[in-house]
Structure 1
Amino acid sequence: MTELSREKIVDGAPALSGDELRAALAGLPGWELAEDGKSIHREWRFKTFKAAAALANLAAWQAEAANHHPDIAFGWGFARVSYSTHSAGGVTRNDLIMAARLEAAMG
Structure 2
Amino acid sequence: MEKLNDQEIQEKLTSVPSWKLTDTKWIERKYRFNEYLNGVEFVQQVANLSEKVNHHPFISIDYKMVTLRITSWHAKGLTALDFDLAKKYDELFIQIKS
Give the TM-score normalised by structure 2. Answer: 0.88
1 CA distance for matches of 2:76 and 2:63? Answer: 32
Report the counterpart of residue 102 of structure 1 in structure 2.
Answer: 89
Structure 2 counterpart of 1:19, one-letter code: Q
2 CA distance for matches of 1:62 and 1:25? Answer: 21
Task: Quote the offset at 1:84 in angstroms.
Answer: 0.4
Task: Quote the offset at 1:23 in angstroms.
Answer: 0.9
| Structure 1 residues 28-107: aligned runs within 5 Å | 28-34=16-22, 36-107=23-94
Structure 2 counterpart of 1:60, one-letter code: A
Q: Deviations over 1:38-96 (max 9, x none)?
A: 11110011222111111211111110111111111112110011110011111111111
2 CA distance for matches of 1:72 and 1:79? Answer: 7
What's the RMSD between the two structures over aligned residues? 1.2
Task: Quote the offset at 1:105 in angstroms.
Answer: 2.8
Give structure 2 stretches of 5+ with no counterpart.
none
27, 43, 48: which is aligned to 2:15? 27
Q: Secondary structure in 2 aligned to 1:94?
A: helix
Give structure 1 stretches of 5+ with no counterpart.
1-12
Report the counterpart of residue 15 of structure 1 in structure 2.
Answer: 3
Aligned residues: 94
2 CA distance for matches of 1:46 and 1:31? Answer: 17
